[in-house]
Amino acid sequence: MTESGLSARSSSFRLEAASLALADLIERYCTSDGPNTTPIPGLSLFRASSTSTPICAIYRSILAVAAQGCKRLSLADETFHYDSRHYLITSVDLPVMGQITEASPERPYLCVVFDMDARRIAELAGSMPVAALPPASGPLGLGVSPLTTPVMDAVLRLVGLLDTPHDIPVLAPLYEQELLYRLLTGVQGARLRSIAAADGQGQRTARAIDWIKGNFDQPLSIDALAEAANMSKSSLHHHFKALTAMSPLQYQKQLRLQEARKIMLTEAVDAATVARRVGYESPSQFSREYRRLFGAPPMRDVTRMR
């Protein structure tokens, strides 16, 4: 075997060993299905003992590393898969459809989720030499890439602090910086830099996303949205679609329908009432769009979810 072949095989073994170690940590500190918070700021663990139906959720700016099992995500017409050999990054809040496709009680789906701070990313990127930064990737705010040993090692060190909680206040910020550095110098580095760059198009588009989130139940004014983002209307449409894979109106619709589903699952309200609460003037239009997204009329879908 050639020297390069031996190196690749050694790297593969290291990555597999690190994944096993990470899975062991998650199983020890994540004993119940669902998300589990940890004492490490921004870090949570997720466990699922079975596969799932597609579930809508808003993914904030995160890094997700699955130590075991597999998950499929859909963003508009784009589909992504990540498992123990890939990692996921989202750079802005995105409405996605997620489905765990590989999990069982014997081998549950185990995942680390880390919330990324745009301010820390910007500070770190600003201190790095340009030569250390990878070239630009696509503008979409979500990407899946092959997991590298440096990224996995940094994740493992950060999660490993759960074994020594007294070290967390001092070492967690250092390990977080190492992890962000590995991500910034990896293939998804440009995706992170674009959203952290002060007053760049990515940052302005992120302001538009925040504006829609804060006003999702109101009629969408493209003029007001463009003003809030400090962009022209044509530039706003172009960059918004490039970053989120959907138009501002489609993004607002996703937020409204997800919020409506959440309300009906937690409160005793009918479809017409919740339609008005999330901004729909026509209950029939709400029911049509709800069924198109979730595959069933509102009350039937909620009954099935319960």
Report the pLDDT value the prediction gives residue 213, as an integer from 0 to 100.
93
Say whether both 68 and 206 belong to one domain.
no
Mean pLDDT for all residues in the chain = 89
List pLDDT tens digits, range 133-158: 555 556 788 999 999 999 999 999 99
214 and 165 in a common domain: no
The residue that leads in pLDDT, 29 or 192, is 29
Instruction: Please tell me whether residues 158 and 252 are part of one structural domain.
Output: no
Given this model, what pLDDT does residue 176 score? 96
> Picking from 60-69, 117-126, 155-164, 220-229, which range would have the lowest pLDDT averaged per residue?
117-126
Q: Are 121 and 196 in contact, with CB atoms under 8 Å apart?
A: yes
Same domain for 63 and 185, yes or no, is yes
Residue finishing a domain among 164, 195, 226: 195
Residues 14 and 59 reside in one and the same domain: yes
Q: What is the pLDDT of residue 46?
A: 97
Range(s) of the domain holding residue 72: 3-195
**Range of weakest confidence among 40-44, 123-127, 200-204:** 200-204
Domain boundary among 195, 225, 256: 195
pLDDT greater than 80 at residue 297: yes
User: What CATH number did the domain enclosing 215 receive?
Assistant: 1.10.10.60
My answer on whether 29 and 119 are in the same domain is: yes
Give residue 117's pLDDT.
Answer: 87
Instruction: Give the chain's domain count.
Output: 2
Coil, strand or helix at 28: helix
Residue 8, pLDDT > 70, answer: no
Structure tokens given for 171: 């070492």
Does one domain contain both 157 and 18?
Answer: yes
Element (H, E) at 145: strand 142-146
Per DSSP (E only), the strands in 32-135 are: 34-37, 43-48, 55-59, 62-68, 70-75, 78-82, 86-90, 94-102, 109-115
Question: pLDDT confidence of 57, banded at 50, 70, 90?
Answer: confident
Alpha helix ranges (H) inside the chain: 3-29, 118-127, 149-160, 168-184, 189-196, 201-214, 222-229, 233-244, 248-266, 271-277, 283-294, 298-305
Amino acid letter, residue 196:
A
Separation CA 118–CA 199 (nearest Å): 13
